[in-house]
């Protein structure tokens, strides 16, 4: 397995534009997490899915953020409209729930909103 795959690796966009980040979890994993890395809060959990269903989205900062998981092998995190303060590295991770095993992370998407 190639691990968790995120795309794009880097995204530069203008303020007000829509941004879509993509994630392919490890095959067989049933939980998927979206994190945002900031200096102040470290890895901040935005939302997590279990069996494609959003379980906890309390970390989503604003209504401008939305996430979907239409099937077990794909998830998106969308920001519309984007703002400069959204600039950060966004990570996706997946794991198998209930097994007390570690979550595996993708390499992240570095988002810059200018």
The one among 22, 68, 72, 105 contacting other proteins by CB under 8 A: 105
Structure tokens at 14: 């203008």
CA 73 to chain centre: 13
Binding mask 61-90 for other proteins (x = CB under 8 A): ------------------------------
> Is 35 a residue that touches other proteins (CB under 8 A)?
yes
Task: Show the beta-strand stretches assigned E in the chain.
Answer: 5-7, 10-13, 19-24, 31-38, 42-50, 53-56, 65-71, 74-79, 88-95, 104-105, 109-113
Return the number of the residue (80 or 112) whose C-beta is nearest other proteins: 112
Q: Where on the chain is the footprint of other proteins (CB under 8 A)?
A: 4, 31, 33, 35, 40-45, 48, 50, 55-56, 91, 93, 95-108
């Amino acid at each position: 397995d190639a691990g968790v795959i995120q795309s794009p690796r880097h995204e530069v966009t203008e303020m007000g534009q829509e941004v879509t980040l993509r994630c392919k979890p490890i095959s067989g994993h049933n939980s998927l997490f979206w994190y945002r890395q900031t200096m102040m809060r470290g890895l901040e959990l935005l939302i997590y899915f279990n069996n494609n269903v959003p379980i906890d989205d309390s970390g989503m900062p604003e209504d401008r953020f939305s996430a979907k998981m239409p099937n077990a092998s794909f998830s998106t995190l969308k920001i519309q409209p984007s703002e400069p303060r959204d600039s950060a590295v966004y990570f996706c991770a997946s794991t198998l729930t209930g097994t007390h095993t570690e979550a595996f992370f993708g390499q992240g998407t570095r988002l810059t909103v200018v």
